[in-house]
Amino acid sequence: MTRERRASSEALALAAAFVGGACLSLQARFNGTLGEPLSEPLVAAIWSFSSGLALLVLALAVPSLRQGATRLVLSIRAGRLRWWECLGGVLGGAFVAVQTSTVGLLGVTVFIVASVGGRALGGLLADHVGAGPKGRTPITPVRAIAGAVAVVGVAITVSGQHVPGGIAVLPALAVIVAGVMTQFQQGLNGRVSARAGSSYATTLQNFLVGVIALVAVAGVRVLAGFTEWQWPHDAPWWAWLGAPLGIAFIGLSAWATEHISVLVLGLMGIMGQLVAALVIDLLDPVAREGVGVRTVVGMLVTAVAAAAAARAARR
């Protein structure tokens, strides 16, 4: 690949990571609305994942997409793709399970900061061990500082929000670990996409494995009497749009990881999340009042961290 073509691919990958992050932010809003009629957020996540899986299965009617899924199966059978490389959906499901179990204990502010801290650390570790398709990228001072600065930027952004009752340490640590797992998920998804030559096939298997993992966790909770299966019958139709947004996030991220490191992918995704969240808040007359200087400063600090990590990756 020529230098110009590689630079173009990297620029597109950065844009894809940013858009994917924005999709994730919007998806959180839609999934939250979907789960409002339910007493168990995990069940709402299952409905969202399942509807996304249904859309992806319907897409198998398109010959080119079906060929990508076939290549994925053949790669597994031939040993070119190992079974554990297809477990990204389990890690994604684990993050959702931790999210639904800890947000109420920690509050949204602490959850966001802990999650971003885990994603920054996870990006460094995933690149260091070569979890992504680009292979191993050692931890350098610039990359470590960029990850730390991104966490500071997000902390500044949410610093105006109230945190009642202090911080519960164990749930916060669980969120950090879950954030690390999401970055390994992106690295594994990138491997699958590179081997199968299809981000669609990657997204399909990710949703399939994710649904299985979520149903398993929710099934245990149902059998233990902690919750019950429910249908979100009172949710508005647009709340179901979280599924296609999740498809877009996974597909874009899987493709982007073939061209940029997992750390850069995560930082650009975080930037996309913050920008999308800002736009949503500005459109809401009530939430608009909470947008201030700290919000903008925090976003700028996060943008500097993402730019520094991307620049270091080109050297």
CB-CB contact of 154 with 298 (8 Å): yes
Alpha carbons 41 and 101: distance in angstroms, whole number: 8
Cα–Cα nearest to 262, from 313, 207, 203, 205: 313
Alpha carbons 98 and 117: distance in angstroms, whole number: 15
Alpha carbons 188 and 126: distance in angstroms, whole number: 9
Which 8-state DSSP code applies to residue 79? Answer: T
CB-CB contact of 244 with 69 (8 Å): no
Which 8-state DSSP code applies to residue 59? Answer: G
Tell me the per-residue pLDDT of 4-51, one tens digit each, with 9 for 90 and over. 777 788 889 989 999 988 887 787 777 777 777 776 667 777 888 888
Alpha carbons 226 and 306: distance in angstroms, whole number: 41
**Total-model pTM:** 0.82
Q: In Å, what is the CA distance from 37 to each residue of 29, 31, 122?
A: 14, 11, 34
Alpha carbons 284 and 307: distance in angstroms, whole number: 30
Cα–Cα nearest to 260, from 19, 9, 1, 35: 9
pLDDT in tens, the chain (315 residues): 577 777 788 889 989 999 988 887 787 777 777 777 776 667 777 888 888 999 999 999 999 899 989 998 888 888 888 888 888 888 877 877 777 667 666 666 667 777 778 888 888 888 888 888 877 888 888 888 888 887 787 777 666 655 555 556 777 788 888 888 888 988 888 888 888 888 899 999 989 998 998 888 888 878 887 777 777 777 788 888 888 988 998 889 888 988 888 888 888 888 888 788 778 777 777 666 666 777 777 778 877 877 777 776 665
Alpha carbons 21 and 19: distance in angstroms, whole number: 5
Cα–Cα nearest to 92, from 232, 205, 220: 205
Tell me the per-residue pLDDT of 161-200, one tens digit each, with 9 for 90 and over. 555 555 567 777 888 888 888 889 888 888 888 888 888 9
